[in-house]
Amino acid sequence: MTGRISPPQHPKSTRAVEALSTFYGTPLSELLARCLTADPAARALENFKIAAERVPAYARFLAAHRIDAREVRTAHDFQRLPVTTKETYHRPNALADLCLDGDLAGCDMLAVSSGSTGQPTIWPRFVADEVGSAERFEQVLVDGFGADRRRTLAVVCFALGTWVGGMYTAACCRHVASKGYPITVVTPGNQKPEILRVLRSLAADYEQIVLCGYPPFLKDLIDEGNLSGFDWARHVVRVVMAGEVFSESWRTLVSERLGASDPSHSSASLYGTADGGVLANETPLSITIRRFLAEQPAIARELFGESRLPTLCQYDPLHRYFEQEEDGSLLFSAGGSVPLIRYKILDRGGIIGYERLLSFLSERGFSSTGLASVRELPFVYVFGRSSFAVSFYGANVYPENVGPALEQRAFAARVTGKFVMQVVRDADQNAALEIAVELVRGELGGAALAESLAAAIRAELERLNSEFANYAPPERRSPKLLLLPEGHPDYFPAGVKHRYTRGE
């Protein structure tokens, strides 16, 4: 295997370490020694000790579970600590008590996301929190796209404002650029006319363009650019995505429309959450592996235990310490302005060591020969949260957002209230929100009812789900309705616990 790059050190820039030193109130030399600790388990224990000593909410959490932090000394002790979640840890506590020293003023920014009910959740942040996540962007931009040697225009196409994705991406890209790479950041947000206006004005001045956004939005942007006469193939265009699982056929289609011949070096997905920032990222190696597995479904099932293909990323265990529970739930631990210890993010998936995965694949015919940039970092795979929501243009769409429309007086006598949501794609890989609705016995449905229900559901989604209203383009917000008879065996089987969502 050629072109091997050693795992990154933490953090790389002196300015970043100085910011961390100021933040943690720790001498620079001591903090640097901690940051360069090569043992992920030791780093996790260090973050635990900081949280136990300096975070009021976590100290109370440990006390409630009758845990003496002084007795947590080994990795085995750490793995026996109780799991924290948004519901059991974040929501019951005041924001200040989640922060180091109980000081909300020690943070310089607040990020907003929607939680499991679609209600906004606020996460305090400090600039030092962005250092590790910026390294994930650096891996994508430099390892994958060669931004160290090409004048690069990074275009932030995520929604801006309080929403975490756009602001966080802009900040991390600027941190990477500040290290001396020839990268310029521009922030038109998720406004397609403004993005295309910016590109028409600036694209010729750069050797490559990197579009950062949610997968379906970027595809819509690319298609609209083609219709309006913007020739993507005249430029070197890359895409950085987050928020949704997509197929390798989708990646191939988008790469072809951009005129990119090598999808493993022209696209990358980030695994990020508002809770933990950017946890992991696709690399040329992980993309190449995923494309191999997409053509070998039997091997994929053997590896992941399911027929669907998860997102496959590499992660730095010194930045985010992952664990996998027996039920397939992922946990991570991290320091920062709001330290999180054994935090459960409701994502299903798993972790696989670098040597283990490469050995497994090589025995089944996979070869990474020819890849220029390979980091010997472990892998994390993620199926997401399809049991609770569907991800549409990066917005989590929850059953609680749709139910109120079906309960309106105009429809309540005609539908049972049961429905199933899923994201479907047409032959051109355009995403649509499809909702199958169960009719009451004897109700025939019809086009007029479907049209009225679709309008009502769209109105409720726009009213209740601010992510949906900000992320999904207006022309894609009306759902595709399927009106089905009571007890339909594929969607509403009798005697089975109802599931309101389906994965792609």
Whole-prediction pTM:
0.80
Question: In whole angstroms, what is the distance from residue 86 CA to residue 84 CA?
Answer: 7
Alpha carbon distances (Å) from 318 to 7, 35, 123, 216, 344: 10, 8, 22, 32, 18
Closest by alpha carbon to 395, among 211, 504, 243?
243
Tens-digit pLDDT string for the chain (504 aa): 333 333 333 333 444 445 544 444 545 445 444 544 579 999 999 999 999 999 999 999 999 999 999 999 999 999 999 999 999 999 999 999 999 999 998 888 888 875 544 567 888 988 888 888 999 999 999 999 999 999 999 999 998 887 788 999 999 999 999 999 999 999 999 999 999 999 999 999 999 999 999 988 898 899 889 989 999 999 999 999 997 778 888 899 899 999 999 999 999 999 998 888 899 999 999 999 999 998 888 899 899 987 678 899 999 999 999 999 988 899 999 998 999 999 998 888 999 999 999 999 999 999 888 887 789 999 999 986 545 788 899 888 888 788 889 888 889 889 988 899 999 999 899 999 999 999 988 899 999 999 999 999 999 999 888 889 999 999 999 999 999 998 899 999 876 667 888 876
Report the chain's terminal Cα–Cα distance, integer Å.
Answer: 34
Q: Which CATH class is domain 392-484?
A: alpha beta
Q: What residues does each domain of the chain span?
A: 4-102, 392-484
Q: How far is CA 67 from CA 44, 82, 99, 322, 334, in A?
A: 17, 9, 20, 22, 20
CA 483-487-489 angle, 5° bins = 90
- As a whole number of angstroms, the distance between CA 143 and CA 24 comes to 31
